[in-house]
Amino acid sequence: MKKAVRFLVIFSLMVCFVSFGVNVGAKGLVDQASKARVKVIDVGNAGSFTGAAASPCMEIFNSAQVAVDEWNAKGGIQGVKIKHIMGDDALQPSQAINVAHKFVADKSMYGVVGPPMSHIAQATLKIYGAGNLACITTAASKPSLTEQGYKQFFRVNARNDAHGWNCALFIKNYLKAKKVAILNEKVAYCVNMASETVKGLKKLGIKDILQETIVAGSKDFSPVLTKVKAFKPDVLFFIATAAPDQAIGVRQMKELGIKATFFGTEGAKDKKDFIEASQGAAEGAYVYHFGPDIYAIPAAAGYVKKYEKKYGTISGFGPTAYEAMNILLTAINNAAKDGKISRKEVIQKLHEIKNYKGILGFPVTFDKKGDLEGSATYFFKVVGKDFKQVAIMTGK
Amino acid sequence: MDLLLRELPQQLINGLTLGAVYALIAIGYTMVYGILGMLNFAHGEIYMIGGFTGWWILYLVSRNHQIIMNAAIVIGLMVVASMGVSAFVGMLSERFAYRPLRKAPRINLLLSALGVSIFLQNFVLNYQGAKPRVYYVSSLIPKSIALIHIGPVVVSFMRIMVVLITFLLMILLTIIIKRTKAGKAMRATAQDLEMATFLGIDVDRIIVLVFIIGSALGGAAGVLVGLLFTQVDYFMGFQAGVKGFIAAVLGGIGSISGAMLGGIILGLAESLAVTFLPSAYKDVVAFAILIIVLIFRPCGLIGKEVQEKV
């Protein structure tokens, strides 16, 4: 008798659990491809979290984490928690391919923020494309990335052709230069940025241009800078990916007694790795950036407060990442509203995003290619230990 | 042409400094090759470790990027400490990665050296991170003498110092090799390892000594590059290692004076190449010189033709 009672109790408990489980399953989110219940929504973050670009990329990751934490605090997406997964490519395209394969193979992954480097984004486009996995880059600016017909690739930053033209305008109209030297690294972003700027400068009537190449991480730019010195330019546009190289560049430029104005890229907008590392040489130098001064935008105050409390100061790569993650999660949420979700649906919902008002100070709408509609470039000057926004160019 | 004349003296100075550093690295390659006939591919990493040691010393004696001691003492300390640490790491690598393989085929030694190189690189990556470390050098040299103008040419005090320290170390090395008993033993071992053993030379000790001296010079090169270019990172040993190796082969691998000459020539060639060609061809010129020299003088500029022993 006792045995029978025990059996009955256990059996009824089991029935209880099983039916409870089925109940949740019926109410929860279902993946359209596998028909399985979605237990967790993974979002990837592909970037160079080790290597010379580690500090901007960690800012990207941490900013996206702020967005994920906010969504999870609100209960996730349709009651399902979001997991933010790091994929480190160490600034190596070969490594990035492994990251892309890993992300695509993750059945519960519905979108990726990144990769932020053009040459790395280029290497992974096809893999993410074949996996229909939405990617929103926060910094990759090579135009051709969105010209190859891939539907899954979006960006919340302007393209190089916009930046190049804006930089040319800045060099001519703001810096009043007549002779320009351009040094660029031999990677996709830098080569492209250089050619777009040269194109813009020529259009503006500046024909006196010296263009030379540099190797990232070589630590000694004095031979090529000596050549620049003999050219006597008004402006030296130093197009490198990471801040440490530009800190060396500006330091060796001053050391050689070159009188030109140093103009660096968005990668140099880093207080520690550029201003501090240049040991005073960066004073008065200019950099351009795809993002505005985040401290001047009221809507961004909440993000800034949360980020700085947990991770320290923001250099400029974080805000677009926070925005990108929020847009991605909004699209995933829109796709999940009907209780079913698929990667393709997420991509479709991203294309439907119109006038998303986030923290960047301008509404985000993607065009057919996945590019941002209306592109601005922001210019900063090094004053003391900080960057001061001095100009905004919007192609005019 | 006018442009060229303005540029040339400055490029000579750039090349000479770079060449001095290459030469220091090349000596380590050439000494080990001379005695063991192996290419110590981990030598670039030994150089990198020297760079990091120097950074730590500077960091430890600085507050807010300002040194708290006499600058000359700090620089001396940095050079000596990095030479010491690099020598120690070089010694360890010899003891644990090369000595057990001394009787094995050459290729095993080479692979072992590659292993040591990857190990050291990742060890530093793990413990020091991937971001470049910055040498805050502005308080080391007084502003008034930091830059010296000679006509259109600018020479930084640091460059002069680097070249001076390099030549000092080279002279010291030459004295050790030519004038001391240990140096004599080294030369004997390099000539014929087995015969040296018969003559009562403790070959193991001599080999250790060679690794210590070679690695110490590599470490010194690392700290000098840090002082000169202000940044070190875990990956810097790779490129420097390749350049040091080229310099060694250029001068005649196995020959110490050849390594010195090879380094200087390589540094000058790279700097001057930028003057005459687009800067993208800088490394092309370095390798082209290597190929040409090897075609016309297979044993390098001042290397000796050694007859194969039967």
**A64-78, A275-289, B87-101, B243-257 — which is least confidently predicted?**
B243-257
ipTM for the assembly: 0.90
Most distant CA pair in chain B, distance: 64
Contact criterion met (CB < 8 Å) for A229 and B7: yes
Among B34, B44, B64, which residue's Cα sits nearest to residue B186? Answer: B34
SS3 A289: strand
Residue of B nearest to A249 (CA): B229
The pTM of the full predicted model, rounded to 2 decimals, is: 0.82
Q: Considering only residues 40 to 69 of chain B, which have any Cβ-Cβ distance to chain A shorter than 8 Å?
A: 65
Residue A17 has pLDDT above 70, yes or no: no
Distance of CA B226 to the CA centre of its chain: 13
pLDDT for res B228? 94
DSSP-based three-state secondary structure for B66: strand
Question: Strands, DSSP E only, in A172-293?
Answer: 179-185, 208-214, 235-239, 261-264, 286-289
Judge whether A257 is closer than 8 Å to chain B, CB to CB. Answer: yes
Q: Which residues of A touch B6 (CB under 8 A)?
A: 229-230
Which of chain A's residues have a Cβ under 8 Å away from the Cβ of B235?
217
Beta bridge partners of A208: A179
The whole-angstrom separation of Cα A195 and Cα A184 is 10
In DSSP notation, A102-149 reads HHHH-TTEEEEE---SHHHHHHHHHHHHHTT--EEESS---GGGGSS-
d(CA B234, CA B3): 38
Query: A244, B231: Cβ pair inside 8 Å?
Result: yes
Domains and CATH numbers, chain A: 41-158+295-365 (3.40.50.2300), 161-289+378-393 (3.40.50.2300)
pLDDT digits 0-9 by tens, B154-206: 899 999 999 999 999 999 999 999 999 999 999 999 988 889 999 999 999 99
Work out the minimum CA distance from A357 to partner chain B, whole angstroms. 35
> Is A229 within 8 Å of chain B by CB?
yes
Asked if the C-beta of B274 comes within 8 angstroms of chain A's C-beta atoms, the answer is yes
Summarize pLDDT for A122-161 with one digit per residue, the tens: 999 999 999 999 999 999 989 999 999 999 999 998 888 8
Q: Does residue B306 have a pLDDT over 70?
A: no
> Rounded mean pLDDT of A86-113?
95
**Cβ-Cβ contacts under 8 Å, B10 against chain A:** 226, 229, 256
Residue A224 near chain B (CB below 8 Å): yes
CB contact under 8 A, A223 and B283: no
List the structure tokens of A238: 């130093």
Contact list in A for residue B5 (CB cut-off 8 A) is none
Q: What is the pLDDT of residues A170-226, one digit of tens each?
A: 999 999 999 999 999 988 889 999 999 999 999 999 999 999 999 888 889 999 999
Chain B residues within an 8 Å CB radius of A90: 130
Provide the pairing of β-strand A386-393 with A377-383. antiparallel
**Is residue A19's pLDDT more than 60?**
no
Quick one: which of A109, B160, A138, A139 has its CA closest to A127?
A109
Task: Tally A–B CB contacts below 8 A.
Answer: 106
pLDDT tens digit sequence for B117-151: 999 999 998 898 878 899 999 888 888 888 888 88
Residue spans of the domains in chain B: they are 2-237
If phi > 0 it is left, if psi is from -120 to 50 it is alpha, else beta; for residue A371 that is beta
